[in-house]
Amino acid sequence: MWESLNSRQKAYLLACFHEDQEAERRAKSARAAFRDPGAAAEWRRLPFSIRSELPFAEYTAIQDRLRADGHLDAGAGATLHALARRGLLKISEDRVDVPQVGLASRVLVELTRSGRACARAALGIPTVPRRPAYLLSEWLWRNLVRVAEAGPEGLSEDAMGGKSRFYLGTGYRPNGRPSRGYIDCHPVRMEKGRGTFVLEYRWRLTEAGKRHVNAHRSDYQTRYPDVQLRAPDPL
C-alpha cells in the first residue's frame, strides 16, 4: 500500500500518523495519572483544518507539520480524500467556536488500523500484537495493580481512578456488558458505644481478581513493562 502512494500522499499520511501517536501518548499519560482520557474513538479524531480566514483560525498541528515540509496548499482536501478512498483514514467535520468569528466548520481526520500499519511499515516501526480479549488494557491493569498492592487493608474508595471501578468491579454493567468482578468495595466498620457505624469503604481483590493476577502476571509484565506489581507472587 505504501508503494502505491505518491510522495505527497505519503507526506500527509505520515503527518497524520505522528499526530495520532502524540494523541496516544497524551492518553497514556492521562491514564498513568489515573485520569480518564475518554474513548479512543474521540481522541483519535484529529483536527486537520478550520474553515475560517487567518489569522482568526490558527494552523492545526498537522498543518504545521505539512507546512514545514512544503506540502500544505489548496490541494490538501484532494489528498486527504485519496487516502480515504484507500481506507487509510476517515474524514469528518464538526463545528468549533473561533474568537471574533463565531462557529466555524472544522475538518477532522482519523487514521484507520490499516493507515497506522502502513505508516509503521514505512517508518520501520514494529507492529504491536493485538491484546488478547482476556487481558486488560494498560489503564485497567494499572488500577487493578493498585488494589492488589493495597493487600487485605484495601484501597480507599476515592482512590480508584476514573471509571475503572465500573469495568473491574462486581455488579456493574458498563455499556450493557457485565463487569469483570475482579474487585469489590467493602465497608470498614467501627464500634462506638453500643453500635457500629461505617467509617469508610475500601476496594479489595475478589477471588476472581486474585486468580486473574496470578494467571497473567507475567503476560502483563511483558506487555506493560512500565507497570510494576509489587505484591507477593502468587497472591
Task: Tell me the pLDDT tens digit for each residue of 66-94.
Answer: 999 899 888 899 999 999 999 999 999 99
Task: Tell me the pLDDT tens digit for each residue of 128-171.
Answer: 778 999 999 998 999 999 999 999 999 999 888 678 999 999 99
One DSSP character per residue, 62-81 reads HHHHHHHTT--STTHHHHHH
176 burial type by CB count under 10 A (0-12 exposed, 13-18 middle, 19+ buried): exposed
Q: What is the pLDDT of residue 58?
A: 79
Q: What is the pLDDT of residue 15?
A: 97
Amino acid at 35: R
Cα–Cα distances in angstroms (integers) from residue 165 to residues 115, 137, 146, in the given order: 33, 14, 12
**pLDDT above 70 covers what percent of the chain?**
97
Q: 53 falls in which pLDDT band (50, 70, 90)?
A: low
Q: Which of 94, 90, 92 is nearest to 13 (CA)?
A: 90
Average pLDDT for the chain: 91
Cell triple for 164: 475503572
Q: 97 falls in which pLDDT band (50, 70, 90)?
A: confident
Average the pLDDT over 16-30 and give the result. Answer: 94
Cell triple for 52: 475560517
Task: Tell me the pLDDT tens digit for each residue of 196-234.
Answer: 888 899 999 999 999 999 999 999 999 999 899 999 999
Q: What is the pLDDT of residue 74?
A: 83
Q: What is the pLDDT of residue 57?
A: 64
165 burial type by CB count under 10 A (0-12 exposed, 13-18 middle, 19+ buried): buried
